[in-house]
Amino acid sequence: MSKLTWGKPKLETTPLTDGAIPATPTWVVLPDSEKDTSQLEPKPGPEREAVNEGSETIDFAASKDGYTFTTDIFLKKGMTRPFTDNDGLIAGEHAIRLTPEDDTNEGWLISRSVVKCETRWNSAKGTMLRYIFRALKPETGNTLQPYTKPTT
């Protein structure tokens, strides 16, 4: 048992119906990612600051953060790609969730995102598929939500 959410995560995705996760979603497990490439990054929202002539801050306003999740997947012989893309563009909206290696720890869920694929190649690794999930604000709740695997 781990106290931290590190290690090899389980990444799952499902297409949305009318901008929401379906009542009975079909979660697809993404194939193996390259070590240390799965990253959730916040994108700070715009900030405004009111400063007077004495360079003192009178007021400050910040907007909510956005999120981008990126992972690089090895393209293996005979593998079915998790998404069909059109020159990198993937149709529709998708949810993605991360379950940590120790699945009793808290992971996260982005319940609404758009996905893009960047195909890369080099002689050391071969073809890699970089999937970029750009989080969108869901109808209700936070953009990034806690997720813990249900106990069975």
Q: Each residue of 136-152: pLDDT tens digit?
A: 999 999 999 999 999 87
The proportion of the chain whose per-residue pLDDT surpasses 70, expressed as a percent, equals 100
Domain ranges of the chain: 10-147
| 6-63 tens-digit pLDDT | 989 999 999 999 999 999 999 999 999 999 999 999 999 999 999 999 999 999 999 9
CB 95 within 8 A of CB 108: no
Q: What is the DSSP string of 11-68?
A: EEEEE-BTTB--SS---EE--PBPTT--EEEEEPPPEEEEE-TTS-EEEEEEPPPEEE
Question: pTM of this prediction?
Answer: 0.91
